């Protein structure tokens, strides 16, 4: 079974210089592609000079995470794709445990344990030990509830079925990718992996965290500002609900979620973070503008239950439950 490593890059020469050698070292005899999303630094010059065997797929401008991968994967012949950020450090034999699941047809989408490169005893925000969502679309992970990030003491060393896999390092079966027609490009970036995995669940695809594989992720490697991330995360999370929640349940889910959005606006205002409040407001109005477009993308196939918890906000802020093991 053929695996291809596909690295998304945008102005990431220094990150490639730091992390690409490990991928080459620990993934021998595996084709590696760098998808350059319109970089304005000399990433391409660096790759052509230092890594002549690396395959480069170059886009003329930054098209976002979703569109860049959709474009690139059409050009790559492989049974399994590994989509990996340019700020991820891989470890010895990192692909072997995951590929064994694909070879035995036990999984369609998978992720390794994602740990923090800067503090290697901790899980990393983007995916940790596997992702889930609550009824109102808020994502959380084994090892990470909002900004409460656990130390890795082996508590999540079991490989389990999850709801969504981390976009920082995601393995996808080619047939699954094609059946879903890739990522939704209207997300541009952030939350597209949750929508992708949700649609996969609707087709009864199996998604897992394979815990005997691990990588270390820096996070925030995209150079996007924290305010922009708030905008995309809030907007896209709402749009994901529009696409994927059962029709009869959607109005109450969006109503409650809108109340939570309002609370978040006042929360940031109270803390004096006016720009973050503005980004949530901006994201909400953009969600309203895009509502009809995303509603038309719905299909009629919905799983009985998509959520692991009713409200992770109540769990964390009211009941003080900030570890996955406390649920």
* Residue that has been written with the tokens 């996070």 in this structure: 219
Instruction: Walk across the sheet containing 144-145 and list its strands.
Output: 131-133, 139-141, 144-145, 148-149
Longest distance between any two alpha carbons in the chain, whole Å: 57
Non-local CB neighbours of 94 within 8 Å, separated by 6+ positions? 26, 27, 112, 213, 214, 215
The pLDDT, as a whole number, for residue 221 is: 47
Residues 112, 216: Cα–Cα separation, whole Å? 10
224: pLDDT confidence band, cut at 50, 70 and 90? low
Question: Tell me, what CATH number does 175's domain have?
Answer: 3.90.550.10
Which has the closest alpha carbon to 210: 94, 90, 91? 94
* CB of 194 closer than 8 Å to CB of 170: no
Is residue 210 domain-shared with residue 248, that is, in the same domain?
no
Question: Per-residue pLDDT for 222 more than 70?
Answer: no
The pLDDT, as a whole number, for residue 301 is: 74
187, 217, 247 — which closes off a domain? 217
Is residue 188 domain-shared with residue 320, that is, in the same domain?
no
Is residue 29 domain-shared with residue 163, that is, in the same domain?
yes
18: pLDDT confidence band, cut at 50, 70 and 90? very high
Is residue 212 domain-shared with residue 144, that is, in the same domain?
yes
Tokens at 27, concatenated: 């993934």
pLDDT in tens, 250-295: 999 999 999 999 999 999 999 999 999 999 999 999 999 999 999 9
Is residue 30 domain-shared with residue 141, that is, in the same domain?
yes
Start-end of H helices in the chain: 13-26, 43-50, 65-73, 96-103, 174-180, 192-202, 226-244, 250-270, 274-295, 312-313
Helix (H, G, I), strand (E, B) or coil at 233: helix
Is residue 122 domain-shared with residue 74, that is, in the same domain?
yes
Is residue 200 domain-shared with residue 269, that is, in the same domain?
no
pLDDT in tens, 243-255: 999 999 999 999 9
182, 217, 252 — which closes off a domain? 217
The count of other CB atoms within 10 Å of the CB of residue 262 is: 13
Residues 72, 75: Cα–Cα separation, whole Å? 5
Is residue 242 domain-shared with residue 211, that is, in the same domain?
no
pLDDT in tens, 151-191: 999 999 999 999 999 999 999 999 999 999 999 999 988 89
How many domains does one find in the chain? 2
pLDDT in tens, 62-115: 999 999 999 999 999 999 999 999 999 999 999 999 999 999 999 999 999 999
Is residue 12 domain-shared with residue 131, that is, in the same domain?
yes
What is the reported pTM?
Answer: 0.94
Residue 236 vs residues 24, 74, 193, 266, 282: alpha-carbon distances, Å: 34, 25, 11, 20, 12
* Ranges 24-38, 101-115, 217-231: which has the least confidence: 217-231
Give the mean pLDDT of 38-50. 94
217, 243, 258 — which closes off a domain? 217
Residues 327, 325: Cα–Cα separation, whole Å? 6
pLDDT in tens, 185-221: 999 888 999 999 999 999 999 999 999 999 999 976 4
The pLDDT, as a whole number, for residue 188 is: 83
Q: What percent of the chain has pLDDT over 70?
A: 98
Is residue 54 domain-shared with residue 134, that is, in the same domain?
yes
Range of the domain at 8: 3-217
Is residue 33 domain-shared with residue 154, that is, in the same domain?
yes
Is residue 234 domain-shared with residue 271, that is, in the same domain?
yes
């Amino acid at each position: 079974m053929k695996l291809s490593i596909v690295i998304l890059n945008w102005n990431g020469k220094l990150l490639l210089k730091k992390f690409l050698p490990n991928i080459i070292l620990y993934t021998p005899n595996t084709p590696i592609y760098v998808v350059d999303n319109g970089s304005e630094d000399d990433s391409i010059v660096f790759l052509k000079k230092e890594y002549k065997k690396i395959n480069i797929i170059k886009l003329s401008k930054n098209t976002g995470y979703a569109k860049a991968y959709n474009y690139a994967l059409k050009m790559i012949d492989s049974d399994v794709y590994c989509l990996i950020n340019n700020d991820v450090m891989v470890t010895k034999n990192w692909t072997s445990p995951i590929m064994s699941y694909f070879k035995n047809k036990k999984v369609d989408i998978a992720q390794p344990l994602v740990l923090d490169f800067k503090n290697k005893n901790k899980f990393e925000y983007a995916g940790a030990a596997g992702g889930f969502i609550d009824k109102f679309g808020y994502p959380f992970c084994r090892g990470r509830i909002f900004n409460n990030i656990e130390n890795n003491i082996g508590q999540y060393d079991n490989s389990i079925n999850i709801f969504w896999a981390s976009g920082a390092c995601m393995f996808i079966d080619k047939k699954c990718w094609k059946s879903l027609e890739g990522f939704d490009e209207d997300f541009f970036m952030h939350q597209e992996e949750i929508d992708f995995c949700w649609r996969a669940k609707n087709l009864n695809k199996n998604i897992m965290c394979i815990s005997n594989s691990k990588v270390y992720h820096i996070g925030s490697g995209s150079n996007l500002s924290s305010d922009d991330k708030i905008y995309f995360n809030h907007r896209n999370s709402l749009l994901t609900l529009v696409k994927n929640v059962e029709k009869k349940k959607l109005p109450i889910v969006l109503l409650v979620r809108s109340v939570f959005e309002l609370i978040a606006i006042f929360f940031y205002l109270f803390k004096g973070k006016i720009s973050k409040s503005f980004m949530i407001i901006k994201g909400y109005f953009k969600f309203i503008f895009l509502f009809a477009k995303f509603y038309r993308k719905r299909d009629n196939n919905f799983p009985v239950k998509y959520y692991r918890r009713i409200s992770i906000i109540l769990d964390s802020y009211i009941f003080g439950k900030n570890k996955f093991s406390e649920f």
